[in-house]
A = this chain, B = another copy of it.
Amino acid sequence: MIGTGDRVLLVGEGREFFVKAGPGTLSTDKGQLDLASLIGASAGDVLTTHNGSKFAVRIPRPTDFFTYGKRSGAPMLPKDIGLVIAYTGMNHNDDVLDAGTGSGIAAIYFGGVAKSVKTYEVRPEFSALAQKNITDAKLGNVEAIAADFLAAEGLYDVVHLDMQIQPEHVTHAYSLLRSGGYLACYTPFLEQMAIVVDAASGLFCEVHPHELIEREMTRSKRGTRPSTSVCHSGYVTIARK
């Protein structure tokens, strides 16, 4: 049941609105809606604006936070987040350390999967913004920490790094991992991928750099073909301790 301050997605009339339940009014070209009326509502309920337009209530999913969350820069793409989850086998038993929080989108995805997530970000204003997104996502198991990754302690099943990578980050990640745990490093550039591979080889028992090229297919009356916009965003190196 939706409480005061909860994020809600209102969907209808070909539109979507990402709002907060509580005081205030949503004004749209399809009419106005009192946001306090969301309190106590549930997913699937339908609300009506003052002029009769109908909007369905949705509890936002991680995909919605990718679309509507506040951003401090270009976040990792879901395709690459999915690769990290799948290639590390991230699951509800895992303690995850994420560094280079950015907008917190990866941490939100991981928080929906893992037992606990600590996410380090050295820039306090980025960490604060990410904390807002995490709070909006109602993830009590995710903690945003405004500190350098090299200061992180503890033991983790998965360490995920999305930052200006240096060899000492790879070495520190190794020291934080349980036996059998995984390091996943996202690097936009080839030179950074090489730093990760060179630092991890010899230390970790398996090291695999990956590139994901994603294409959306298009299908019209004329036929089926790949979209001309193709999606490469970076390299993801997976290393197992």
Contacts and interface: CB of A to CB of B under 8 A. Distances in A.
A86 B92 contact: no
Contacts of A231: 228
A93 interface: yes
A222 B191 CA distance: 9
Contacts of A44: 178-179
A169 B63 CA distance: 24
Contacts of A194: 219, 224
Contacts of A234: 225
Interface in A36-91: 43-44, 56, 58-59, 61-64, 66, 78-79, 81-91
Main secondary structure of the interface of A (DSSP, over half): mixed
B109 A89 contact: yes
Interface of A: 9, 11, 43-44, 56, 58-59, 61-64, 66, 78-79, 81-93, 109, 112-113, 157, 178-180, 182, 188-194, 197-198, 205, 208-217, 219, 222-226, 228-235
Given A58-B180, A82-B83, 14 more contacts: A61-B157, A79-B82, A79-B86, A82-B86, A89-B112, A92-B92, A93-B112, A113-B113, A191-B224, A209-B219, A210-B216, A213-B213, A228-B231, A229-B229
